[in-house]
Structure 1
């Protein structure tokens, strides 16, 4: 699969690197050409260039920029993103008096804002519930039962591409509904990160029901 990574930060490096190792053709696009070139070399990408070049590169585009910048970036490159699977891995978070808070109105999501900014794109919310360092771990690093990646998508083809990306990394896809449910996945990130910062383990809050 050909994937254009829009961004040069930690998530761009972690996901882009994981996909390159899985055999996908990854192109890194950034406003800072030197940073894009450096990241492409570090992860073994097929090429590098501008965000516009990344948006037009392949079947999938990853928006790996701060959540507040993602809708504007999608709007700027809406024509190139039309018809493509656009993966949103962002979290709209900010510090609050009691811990991490959402920086977006209740019930809204960055994924939906990206979809409105680039209405021809097939937006998928995914990869936002783990720290960038987790995505850098090799397939099989978590034992016999692979951890899950919740994702929200409206388009079946886009969902299928993201499932392929998830399984190729050694993870398990977890369908979480349509894009109208992305707000819940983003809110879960706020909960999980708050628990981590408090020294806890959020997975312990979700025990399996007894059969």
Structure 2
């Protein structure tokens, strides 16, 4: 079946755009993505276009070494703690990207983290030797794949306390043709999760499409 990203090959079951071209030059970096859903595939598509080699780890895969310089947790919020516990040593010294929106999916009416915290802050506490970033939670898979939101460029907002880690992720996203912006310290993850929460509730209520949402203009 043709890949939704056009001409592609597969690395660990995820289709990635133009990877044969990029890998023939040698990958700029390796990115490990936990999860194989629509967000995982969209993120893999963007980063592989920029030259990254993609390793994916599904929830039912045997335990394996984490190859990535950057590790993206494209999983539901409840899965974060288990991954952090199992892979804490493997993730030490690496950049770990949390894309979750910690909604109460039973009610779609609240976040399940304390008001003065965030899923990303909780993850940083579980992974003290990793550089945790918040990113991709304010975009939908469709807007990452298309690179546009309502005619405006898709923007990935990135928050974290390590400037070099943020710069590396922003550069990797931009190399894949999607705009990325440094949104500040990891404490800003609280606001990013609030934006993600609102956007998800609007889409679930059919106020916007899953190919729509918020755009950063200017």
TM-score grouping bracket, smaller chain normalisation: 0.7 to 0.9
> Secondary structure of the equivalent of 1:77?
helix
Distance 1:67 1:152 in 2: 17
Q: Which residue of 1 aligns with 2:92?
A: 82
Residues 133-172 of structure 1 mapped to structure 2, 5 A cutoff: 133-137=142-146, 146-172=153-179
Residue 195 of structure 1: CA displacement?
Answer: 2.4
Q: Map residues 1-211 of structure 1 onto 2, 5 A cutoff.
A: 1-33=29-61, 50=62, 52-53=64-65, 56-95=66-105, 99-137=108-146, 146-200=153-207, 203=214
Q: Tell me, what secondary structure is at the counterpart of 2:77?
A: coil
Q: Is the 8 A contact 1:154 1:178 kept in 2?
A: yes
Structure 1's consecutive aligned runs of 4 or more residues displaced over 6 angstroms after TM superposition are none
Kept in 2, the 8 Å contact 1:19–1:169? The answer is yes
Provide the C-alpha distance between the structure 2 equivalents of 1:19 and 1:195, rounded to a whole number of angstroms.
Answer: 28
SS at match of 1:101: coil
Distance apart, 1:199 and its partner CA: 3.7
Cα RMSD after superposing both structures:
2.5
Moved more, 172-181 or 190-199: 190-199
* CA spacing shift, 1:198–1:158, aligned 2, 3 Å: same
With the length of structure 2 as denominator, give the TM-score of the two structures: 0.75
Please give the secondary structure, in 2, of the residue aligned with 1:5.
Answer: strand
Deviating more after overlay: 160-169 vs 179-188: 160-169
Local SS of the residue matching 2:187? helix
CA distance in 2, matches of 1:115, 1:159: 15
Q: Which residue does 2:10 correspond to in 1? A: none
2:149–2:214 CA contact under 8 A, matched in 1 = no
Q: What is the CA distance between 1:192 and its match in structure 2?
A: 1.6
Q: Does the C-alpha gap of structure 1 residues 128 and 20 become closer, same or farther in structure 2, counting only changes over 3 Å?
A: same
Residues paired across the two proteins, number: 186
Distance 1:169 1:142 in 2: 16
Which structure 2 residue ranges, 5 or more long, are not aligned?
1-28
Note the alpha carbon deviations across 1:94-133, whole angstroms, 9 max, x for none. Answer: 2466x54212221221111111111100001000112222
Contact 2:102-2:113 at 8 Å conserved across structures: yes
Deviation per residue, 1:36-66 (Å, 9 max, x gap): xxxxxxxxxxxxxx4542xx20211111111
Using the alignment, how far apart are the partners of 1:84 and 1:166 within structure 2?
17
> Residues 30 and 195 (structure 1 numbering): CA distance in 2 closer, same or farther, change over 3 Å?
closer
